Amino acid sequence: MPQNTVSDTPAYRRIQLALQKRIEAGELQPGDAVPSERELARNYEVSLMTARHALAEMEREGLVDRRRGAGTFVALPKIHFNRLASFTEQMASRGLPARSRILCASVVEGEQEAAARLSVPPHSRLVKIERLRQSGEQPFAVESCYLPAEEFVGLLSLPLERRSLFSTLERDYGIELAYSDEEVDATAASARTAELLTIHAGSPVLRIRQAIFSTQSKPTVYVIGLYRCDRHTLMIRRFRR
């Protein structure tokens, strides 16, 4: 079967892919200006309408913000609170690559807050997985996940750096996650967190604490996430009924 060539790709899509590649590589970061329609039309030898369509599609996908009279800018990643999704799924929904670097993966004891959120005794053994969340080379968040060690034997031997934790729990342990209770507030970045997120110590970070429940309404995972405030926009949809 013949493979698609560059000429088979619509011109507007080639522009999108080129800009997306620059975003993923960190050449264009959240808040940076994107080339104007006229620049894109000239650089890619297309019409203004084609360049405009490319930017409109990127805006629809949440990759850029178009501001009347100011230009087009790389959008801040959006956290959607109306759907429980893994970091991998969140990034995929925006067409961005998700990467994780494991900072710590061990069995711990004495984590009383996590134990309480998981409804297990205070000194229970817990699996702790701490990861640096990235899109491309850009750090987004530091996340610490806790799970009851007795229920997830062998979890630490799995390739968690390359897999979504949600999909691992579903595929390897037969657990279907259903909903989460979340607390959102702001806190100051410690020296270690600041270094990982490439911000100044004491800078504000968004803290999200999640107790994630299975379809059996059993608390299964407790997550503490510390997110760079300058790279996230909260998107909250509320229903009246």
Q: Considering only CA atoms, which of 174, 161, 156, 155 is closest in space to residue 218?
A: 174
Q: CATH topology for 6-74?
A: Arc Repressor Mutant, subunit A (1.10.10)
Question: Does residue 3 surpass a pLDDT of 80?
Answer: no
Question: What pairs with residue 204 in β-bridges?
Answer: 188
Per the prediction, the chain carries an average pLDDT of 84
Q: SS3 for 132? A: strand
Cβ atoms of residues 126 and 111 within 8 Å:
yes
Mean pLDDT value across residues 21-40: 85
pLDDT in tens, 67-80: 888 889 988 766 55
| Spatial distance between the Cα atoms of 201 and 192, rounded to a whole number of angstroms | 8
| Spatial distance between the Cα atoms of 194 and 196, rounded to a whole number of angstroms | 5
**CATH number of the 78-235 domain:** 3.40.1410.10
| Higher per-residue pLDDT: 157 or 230 | 157
| Spatial distance between the Cα atoms of 102 and 85, rounded to a whole number of angstroms | 19
Query: What tokens appear for 41 in the block?
Result: 């039309």
Cβ atoms of residues 48 and 37 within 8 Å:
yes
pLDDT at position 2: 44
Question: Does residue 19 surpass a pLDDT of 80?
Answer: yes
Fold agreement between 6-74 and 78-235: no
Contacts of 35 (CB under 8 A, 6+ apart): 19, 43
pLDDT at position 112: 95
pLDDT in tens, 92-106: 555 555 678 899 999
Domain ranges of the chain: 6-74, 78-235
pLDDT at position 228: 87
pLDDT in tens, 33-64: 999 999 999 999 999 999 999 998 888 877 88
**Long-range contacts, 137-140 (Cβ 8 Å, 24+):** 137/25, 137/26, 138/26, 138/29, 138/231, 139/196, 139/197, 139/198, 139/228, 140/77, 140/87, 140/227, 140/228, 140/231, 140/232
Query: Is the whole model's pTM more than 0.75, yes or no?
Result: no
pLDDT at position 223: 94
